[in-house]
Chain A
């Protein structure tokens, strides 16, 4: 039984890492209705930029600030060059544009910083910590704490600031928001910049764990089932979905994996997501779209 709980907690903590990527995604979907496939590429870009700056001798916080600036610049560029010309197009078109965007960002990140694996040390010991008889990864606990802080910050931003009010207004009804004088392009730029920041945090944590390399951008493939379980529009959904996927995939790997030959972590989250969707087609916390003919 102890072993079960150990696997479960390990899975839950790993799930938090998925949630981090999914949160950036939810932000953008909420405020602009864009299904942003490029979130993984943004995570890669942020982590690569940060690591390359560190390797060039820039101190930690300066590197953080510079990377953040780069992410904001990227956000402004995306808003100008991709979103604005595509305004009012169908969601599928926007999705495919972000697919193209992810190619551009991945290509550019690797052209700029090279394709080799960079080590990243955030100064957190990855020694297992014993808590109530269970071994927990210290690093995972740190990641969970960061995620909690991030969510607290984001919900403060959304619920307590003027900017958050306009963000919610745009999310609710873009045309209505436009009519009362909210500047849509600025809101988009802000949201993409915030998503860039979330991407940076996710990139640092993932990068410290896996090493900063191309596979970071594939984290988006883990974040997709998370979002689908949680629903595209809910931050809570992203967290809960992450926990479900993380725990589910670790438990499945340990208990089901040996029966079928192992390595099922790749597709199990998707199968899990399908099961959830058959019960609730719009995800656990997603909004049910009302269709009129």
Chain B
């Protein structure tokens, strides 16, 4: 009733190809963006902004990066945290050594460095397929972590290897308040999501999906495999790098190589499995899930009488719940939360009828 598409016709190709064809979707998106940009920074408490919204946004961005590579182009990767680390350390060093560079530019350039690293470790994908490619992404994971720990130049010869965030200033505006950091993160997330959405809808995106579904067949119909795969690595690396820089500077305010270990890579992978492989909206749903589940679990255990579940057990419990959720989602809903959301929308379209 409220969500009907009756009477909405596309009378030219541009209207037919726009991002959200349905008026309701479009208005909902505008409303959401308006709310996120203009309302949340004022009503959100520091706790909400710092501990929930910023990590949620950054993890969504990381999920987006991996999803382009794994969900759309079909190249399984366990090294996403490595590229996040490259982005974070590159941004830090750019700010440190090229102080005249504005913050936005150095974050973007950090993404470019991560993209370059990603392409480098993606090169073997031209020859190696499937699970064998895991070795390349794992090599990236361990090598990058080792490099940033061993070579102290990257952390400005800081003895502990921990670096602190550069001052977050854009055109003289100080963004180091929670609301400022939130807005900075949100800006990057919205811009890169739009970019990714448009790329996925373009010829390149369709080529990625063809390569994912069967690369031999894709090559036979004339898709340039090497270029397609490497572009997937590049864009994925860029987005992951930006996510890493944001993770370090807007969320934690500091960074050390151990923050980007293998379990961070797994976390990003779980976001896209739970959210939905090959779906843009899924990254946001998956990230929300990953951020909120531990909080929900600790709240729930707080309701129990004290002493039933101690802190150590809570961590184990969390692991078990994550594992079970992964398996459950793969069995029951391989397309993840995004699929559930889509079903809900389809229901709403025909409501109050069933079909």
Binding site for B on A (CB under 8 A): 35, 81-82, 85-86, 89, 91-93, 95-97, 99-108, 110-111, 115, 221, 224-225, 228, 232, 260-264, 266-267, 270-271, 273-274, 277-278, 281-283, 291, 293
Contacts and interface: CB of A to CB of B under 8 A. Distances in A.
Interface stretch (B53-61, B90-98, B190-198, B325-333): B325-333
A266 B147 CA distance: 11
Interface in B296-335: 312-313, 316-320, 322-327, 330-331, 334
Contacts of A271: 139, 143
Contact of B322 (A100, A224, A225, A264): A100
B142 A267 contact: yes
B124 A263 contact: no
A293 B324 contact: no
Interface string B9-25: 00000000000000000
Contacts of A35: 131
16 contacts: A92-B74, A93-B334, A99-B269, A101-B323, A107-B316, A108-B316, A108-B320, A110-B316, A111-B313, A224-B134, A228-B134, A261-B150, A263-B149, A267-B142, A270-B139, A281-B127
Q: Classify the secondary structure of B's interface with A.
A: helix
B217 interface: yes
B320 A115 contact: no
B150 A270 contact: no
Contact of A264 (B146, B325, B326, B327): B146
Contact of A82 (B129, B138, B327): B327
Contacts of A283: 132
A281 B135 contact: no
A110 B67 CA distance: 31
Given A89-B334, A263-B146, A274-B124, A95 B76 contact: yes
A100 B323 CA distance: 4
Nearest to A35: B131
Given A104-B327, A261-B150, A267-B143, A111 B317 contact: yes
A270 B121 CA distance: 12
Contacts of A100: 322-327, 330
Nearest to A228: B135
Contact of A103 (B220, B262, B319): B319
B273 interface: yes
A281 B132 contact: yes
Nearest to B212: A92
A100 B273 CA distance: 10
Contacts of B334: 89, 93
B1 interface: no
B330 A93 contact: yes
Interface of B: 74, 76, 124, 127-132, 134-136, 138-139, 142-143, 145-146, 149-151, 214, 216-217, 220, 262, 266, 269, 273, 312-313, 316-320, 322-327, 330-331, 334
B150 A97 contact: no
Given A35-B131, A270-B139, A86 B331 contact: yes
B329 to A, nearest CB: 8
B4 to A, nearest CB: 36
Given A82-B331, A277-B128, 9 more contacts: A96-B273, A107-B323, A110-B316, A224-B134, A228-B135, A263-B149, A267-B139, A273-B135, A282-B132
Contact of B146 (A115, A232, A266, A278): A266
- Among B132, B143, B320, B324, the one with the most A-chain Cβ atoms within 10 Å of its Cβ is B132
B323 A102 contact: yes
Contacts of A105: 323
Contacts of B266: 99
A278 B124 contact: yes
A103 B326 contact: yes
Given A266-B142, A274-B139, A293-B217, A103 B129 contact: no
Contacts of B135: 224-225, 228, 270, 273-274, 277
B124 A101 contact: no
A76 B76 CA distance: 28
Contacts of A96: 269, 273, 326, 330
Contacts of B151: 261
B322 A103 contact: yes
A115 B319 CA distance: 13
A86 B139 contact: no
B131 A91 contact: yes
Nearest to A292: B216
A103 B323 CA distance: 5
Contacts of B146: 263-264, 266-267
B122 to A, nearest CB: 12
Contacts of B143: 267, 270-271
B271 to A, nearest CB: 12
Which of B138, B216, B324 has the most CB atoms of chain A within a 10 A radius of its CB? Answer: B138
